[in-house]
Structures are given as C-alpha cells and as structure tokens.
Structure 1
Amino acid sequence: MDRNTDDVIRADMIRLIPEIRNFAKRFSNNPNDVDDLVQETLLRGLANLDKFQPGTRLRSWLFTILRNSFCTRYQRGVREAPGREDCVSVQSSVPPAQEWAIRMQEFNRAVANLSPEHRGAFNAVLVDGDSYEAAAKRCGCPVGTIKSRVNRARLVLAQQTGGAT
C-alpha cells in the first residue's frame, strides 16, 4: 500500500472509534475493559495494516480483530483465573502463628525431656549464648564434653520435633 492509502485507512479507523467502542460494549460492561479492547484493536489494526485488503470493509476487519482479542483475553483469563486454590500467591510463605505456638510447645517439651547434663549444656551454649569454654567452666567439665552434649541434645531435639539436624 502506498502512503496515501495508509493515511486514508488511518483516518477511517479514527472515524470508526465510536462504532468500535459500541461493539466492544457487547463483550464487557466494565468501561476499563472496553477501553482496553478498543485500544488493543486499534494497535493490532495499525500493526497489521499491510494485511488489510483495500476494497474490503475496514469496519468488519476491525470488528473481527476486536472479537478475536476478546476471545484471547477470555481464554487467558480462564487459564489464569485469580484466586485459584493452587495459586502460589494464595499460599502463605510463613505458617500461621498458631502453628508456631504449637511447634514451640513441642520444642519446650522436648527440651524438658533431655537429660539434665544435655539440657544444661544446650541451655548454656544455645540459650544463654555462652562460649563452649565458659559453659565448660560453668558445668565443671572439659570443653569436648560440652561440645558432645550440645551436639547430642541437638540430634535428640531434631529427632523428637521432626526438624533437621
């Protein structure tokens, strides 16, 4: 097509905007969706102007583009429906607070079930924040014994609470 023909077709497209808008209202009651459909129709029409055959009805061609755009959007919307159960955005990345409270109770029971030696070493190093050396002095035993007791306490707690070591 030559430049003059393109300009005439563009002018006709502008003249047809009210009719395109009315046709789009048949597909949606939402004014924003209507505007989006009209805009998408005009953009696709301009992008594919070389495929329009002069002598045919521009109005029908644009209505077909609009209808196809709506069908594509509708099918995409069905495939990607918001609020679906398996949607990642619906799944919480952090368990609810109740679950944490229950886990904490289980953990405290597991700590209480440790032998006094293991519980003392565990509390000194991991709860109170003492170094192995300070915990060894406090418990009156070698550093290696404290390290061993803390490690065994961790293993027992992980086993009882279902956690990783």
Structure 2
Amino acid sequence: MSEKYSFKRELLTCLPGLRGFAISLIGNHDRADDLVQDTIVKAWSNKTKFEPGTNMKAWLFTILRNEFYSQMRKKGREVQDTDGAFTDSLSTHAAQQGSMDLRDFQKALGQLPDDQREAIVLVGASGLSYEEAAKICDCAVGTIKSRVNRAREKLKEILDVSGHQDYGPDAGASAVTKSPMAL
C-alpha cells in the first residue's frame, strides 16, 4: 500500500515541470493543462509498468512528449495560427516590461525548430540532465547538447542579445528595485 502512495507523491511533485514542458510545446495554457491531464491518466493507468527507483520525471516527460506528438498527428487537418496573428487579436497583454519580455521570449521560443525547442526546454527550463533529455528524445547525448547549443544561439539572435548586460531588469526596473522604498 505504501508503494501506491509513494508513486502518487512522486507523480505529484513532477506536475509543475510537466506543465511547463507542455506549455512550451503547445503555447496555450488550457491545452497544455489538458495534455498534462492526459499524461497523468496514462501514467496512472500504467503505474505497474513504472520501475520504482528509476527516474519518474523522465518517464512522465516521455509519456507527455509521446502524447503531444500523437495529438499533433491527429490534428493535422486543423487550421494553424503559426504567426500568432489570430491569437494576438483575441488577447490583451500587460503593459509591464517583464510581461513584454516574456512574450518576446515565448515568440522566439516558438520560432525554434521543434527538436531544438524540446531540447532547450527539457535541459534549460525543466532541469533535466543532457542524459535524461537524450533518453526522453530517444537520441544521443551529443545530439541533445548540439540542439541546446543551436537553440541558445538562435534565441540570442532572435532576441538580439549580445551579452549578460542584456539580461535582467531594464534601467527603470533596476532603479525601483534598488530604491530603499522597495525594500
């Protein structure tokens, strides 16, 4: 009985990472939540196939990735909004600089080829090792490293980032956070 609860507890700790990965693949929070739910249902129904002591996070990410590609194959005939024009017309974005930076980053991430986006999200955002990401993507570790490197370079190019000084808050935000009133 304790194995069941251990499985459930470990599965629950992976949810935030799964959701982040799903959002990076889909770009829509509601559809990403649906994908995570589908992943959890599949994992739960196949919990006897999970080997205790192995990497639950990698196992779940693999299920999510496979489910995502299965859904993509099924949706091959749907109208695609690749440039985001239709989606942008439906929503209003916040005026804060951080929100704009995040939006720019999301758009840039969306411009990456699928294999590079998947690799950089697994390694950079989800905190998986290159080895774990390679196992999830069913490819060599060197391939993952190459994809991550190419993704980083492409993101720097798209976002026009030249160095560390381009990261972090802008001058206005820095002035506010360094103000004694902000503390």
Normalised to the residue count of structure 2, the TM-score between the two structures is 0.42
Q: TM-score, with normalisation over the residues of structure 1?
A: 0.46
Higher relative contact order (CA 8 A, sep 6+): 2
Larger Rg: 1
